């Protein structure tokens, strides 16, 4: 009887431990999701263990340095010096931890099928060292059903029972790299547990560091929430990208149209066109949902159509570049020098995951053009045939290039100076909207 009562009280015991800051949180995966979470926990009085397979990352973090845009070196240094954070590649440390947050990548395969190998590898670590009274939360974006269909059977194979011996939940990461207003500290958390006790414990955990926690009925619901959020963005960006193609045919300025429509105080939310989608979430997450639904004999038409429009934007940008050179410079693309400004997938960060700039550069090179790039945040990147390095931006370089192609609208750029020294500018982000002189050199997407 005493044993049964103890089993029932494990949730309350862990919650009390969490609230008193005696619980030891562990973060598996110290990237754009895991490291910010680790730092927020450390700042709120927890002693955090970060686990990762990269020895270079572990060495960097333990030396007090960060490799994430939104986390300054000083934040990591303070946590390490205070003994609030340590990074390791030793999974045996899991046996000493009370909460485990899985924050590993979830990419797509070449056939756009979910690659859950990183999740499975992390869960294998957890399975070997899982002990009674532990909370396990998956934060990696995935398809509905992953937590209960994939993770739960593996963990229960240990003989421990969910909701009694350990607690399992899903809480989707909502990281927006480079966002100056919303971050891990103030973005509300959605939490869904396998059982009510799991939800209760997971909510208690997140409430220690995040003001607003929104519980849902299940892990499947929480998984679906994240996919809805990014499918919403993908579909609307696909729509406005198609509007941009329409405006090109109709000889209209799509940016003027969007600005005018935005004057309506209700019933309209502005989205903006661009050279394609980038980052780990928006180009990828909707395909997790589409893949899951195909197994249920359902075709997700909006997702597939938006994906098709967005994925072809780099080709459209290159096609427009070719036409601009022919029309305004009387030059063939193969005899031209193109300077690409911006490599990161969005402004003022160094993240190049799924960046449309990578596709644009490859497509331009395939035409035979000489391609250079500049990005103050990305000094180099690995391409198909080696390393490509950022070229120093000088008046001479700008004057030499046949066309300046703005792919990422970093704030560090002086766009008036760029336009003054350029021969021709193709602006895919409306970055030059405040440029007042020499606007005849500019062509907008």
Q: Of 226, 247, 278, at which residue does a domain stop?
A: 226
- Residue 267 placed within a domain: no
Q: Of 226, 259, 277, at which residue does a domain stop?
A: 226
Query: What is the structure's pLDDT at 295?
Result: 87
Indicate if 215 and 319 belong to the same structural domain.
Answer: no
- Residue 13 placed within a domain: yes
- Residue 263 placed within a domain: no
Nearest Cα neighbor of 424 from 398, 444, 400, 442 is 442
Indicate if 327 and 220 belong to the same structural domain.
Answer: no
Query: What is the structure's pLDDT at 434?
Result: 96
Environment class of 330 (CB within 10 Å of its CB; exposed 0-12, middle 13-18, buried 19+): exposed
CATH number for the domain spanning 392: value is: 3.40.50.720
Indicate if 317 and 214 belong to the same structural domain.
Answer: no
Answer yes or no: is pLDDT of 273 > 50: yes
- Residue 405 placed within a domain: yes
Block residue for tokens 């331009």: 364
Domain total in the chain: 2
User: CA 189, CA 171: separation in Å to the nearest integer?
Assistant: 7
Calculate the average pLDDT of the chain.
94
- Residue 255 placed within a domain: no
Environment class of 374 (CB within 10 Å of its CB; exposed 0-12, middle 13-18, buried 19+): buried
Indicate if 76 and 202 belong to the same structural domain.
Answer: yes
Q: Of 204, 226, 248, at which residue does a domain stop?
A: 226
Indicate if 55 and 189 belong to the same structural domain.
Answer: yes
Residue 102 forms beta bridges with which residues? Answer: 28, 138
Query: What is the structure's pLDDT at 5?
Result: 52
DSSP 140: S
Indicate if 211 and 330 belong to the same structural domain.
Answer: no
Indicate if 212 and 318 belong to the same structural domain.
Answer: no
DSSP string, 252-317: --HHHHHHHHTT-SSS-------S---SSSTTTHHHHHHHHHHTTT---HHHHHHHHHHHTHHHHH
Tens digit of each residue's pLDDT (9 = 90 or more) over 56-100: 999 999 999 999 888 999 999 999 999 999 999 999 999 999 999
Answer yes or no: is pLDDT of 405 > 80: yes
DSSP 54: -
Q: Which of 103, 198, 281, 378 is catalytic?
A: 281
- What's the pLDDT band for 6 if we cut at 50, 70, 90? low
- Does the active-site annotation cover 281? yes
Answer yes or no: is pLDDT of 247 > 50: yes
Classified as helix, coil or strand, 215 is: strand
Tens digit of each residue's pLDDT (9 = 90 or more) over 319-376: 999 999 999 999 999 999 999 999 999 999 998 988 999 999 999 999 999 999 999 9
Nearest Cα neighbor of 170 from 188, 197, 148 is 148
Answer yes or no: is pLDDT of 161 > 60: yes
- What's the pLDDT band for 281 if we cut at 50, 70, 90? confident
Cβ count within 10 A of residue 323 = 12
Query: What is the structure's pLDDT at 42?
Result: 97
Answer yes or no: is pLDDT of 2 > 60: no
- What's the pLDDT band for 285 if we cut at 50, 70, 90? confident
Query: What is the structure's pLDDT at 256?
Result: 97
Indicate if 216 and 339 belong to the same structural domain.
Answer: no
Indicate if 24 and 147 belong to the same structural domain.
Answer: yes
User: CA 24, CA 283: separation in Å to the nearest integer?
Assistant: 35
Indicate if 217 and 122 belong to the same structural domain.
Answer: yes
Answer yes or no: is pLDDT of 181 > 90: no
- Residue 277 placed within a domain: no
Indicate if 222 and 316 belong to the same structural domain.
Answer: no
At residue 211's C-alpha, the angle toward residues 207 and 217, to 5°, is 60
Q: Is pTM, for the whole model, over 0.85?
A: yes
- Half-sphere exposure at residue 79, Cβ-oriented, CA atoms within 13 angstroms: 31
Range(s) of the domain holding residue 163: 2-226
- What's the pLDDT band for 1 if we cut at 50, 70, 90? very low
- What's the pLDDT band for 8 if we cut at 50, 70, 90? low
- Residue 92 placed within a domain: yes
User: CA 237, CA 234: separation in Å to the nearest integer?
Assistant: 5
Query: What is the structure's pLDDT at 286?
Result: 86
User: CA 114, CA 159: separation in Å to the nearest integer?
Assistant: 28
Q: Which two tokens stand for residue 173?
A: 């990461």
Of 257 and 2, the structure prediction assigns the larger pLDDT to 257
Q: Which two tokens stand for residue 93?
A: 């440390």
Mean pLDDT along residues 140-156: 95
At residue 5's C-alpha, the angle toward residues 207 and 202, to 5°, is 15
- Residue 35 placed within a domain: yes
Indicate if 38 and 164 belong to the same structural domain.
Answer: yes
Tell me how far apart the terminal alpha carbons of the chain are, to the nearest angstrom.
Answer: 71
């Amino acid at each position: 009887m005493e044993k049964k009562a103890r089993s029932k009280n494990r949730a309350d015991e862990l919650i009390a431990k969490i609230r008193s800051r005696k619980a030891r949180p562990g973060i598996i995966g110290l990237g754009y999701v895991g490291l910010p979470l680790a730092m927020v926990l450390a700042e709120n009085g927890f002693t955090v263990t970060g686990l990762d397979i990269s020895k270079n990352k572990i060495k960097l973090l333990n030396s007090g340095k960060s490799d994430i845009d939104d986390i300054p070196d000083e934040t990591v240094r303070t946590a390490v010096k205070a003994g609030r954070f340590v990074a390791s590649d030793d999974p045996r440390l899991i046996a000493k931890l009370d909460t485990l947050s899985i924050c590993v990548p979830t990419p797509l395969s070449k056939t756009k099928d979910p690659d859950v190998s990183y999740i499975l590898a992390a869960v294998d670590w957890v399975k070997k060292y899982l002990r009674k009274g532990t909370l396990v939360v998956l934060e990696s974006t995935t398809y509905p059903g992953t937590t209960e269909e994939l993770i739960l059977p593996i963990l229960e194979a240990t003989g421990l029972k969910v909701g009694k011996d350990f607690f399992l939940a899903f809480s989707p990461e909502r990281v927006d790299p480079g966002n100056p207003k919303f971050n891990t500290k103030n973005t509300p958390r959605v939490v869904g547990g396998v059982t009510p006790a799991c939800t209760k414990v997971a909510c208690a955990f997140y409430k220690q560091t995040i003001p607003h926690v929104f519980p849902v009925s299940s892990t499947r619901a929480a998984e679906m929430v994240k996919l809805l959020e990014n499918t919403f963005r993908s579909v609307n960006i696909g729509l406005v990208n198609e509007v941009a193609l329409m405006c090109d045919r109709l000889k209209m300025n799509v940016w003027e149209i969007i600005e005018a429509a935005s004057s309506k105080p209700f019933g309209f939310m502005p989205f903006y066109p661009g050279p394609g989608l980038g980052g780990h979430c928006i180009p990828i997450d909707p395909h997790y949902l589409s893949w899951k639904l195909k197994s249920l004999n359902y075709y997700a038409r909006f997702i597939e159509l938006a994906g098709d429009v967005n994925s072809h934007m780099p080709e459209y940008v290159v096609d427009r570049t070719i036409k601009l050179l022919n029309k305004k410079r009387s030059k063939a693309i193969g005899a031209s020098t193109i300077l690409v400004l911006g490599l990161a997938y969005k402004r003022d960060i160094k993240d190049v995951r799924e960046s449309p700039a990578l596709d644009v550069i490859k497509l331009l090179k395939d035409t035979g053009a000489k391609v250079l790039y500049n990005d103050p945040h990305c000094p180099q990147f690995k391409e198909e045939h080696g390393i490509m390095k950022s070229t120093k931006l000088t008046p001479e370089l700008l004057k030499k290039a046949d066309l300046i192609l703005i792919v990422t609208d970093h704030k560090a750029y002086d766009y008036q100076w760029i336009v003054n020294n350029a021969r021709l500018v193709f602006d895919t982000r409306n970055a030059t909207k405040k440029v007042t002189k020499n606007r005849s050199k500019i062509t907008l997407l």
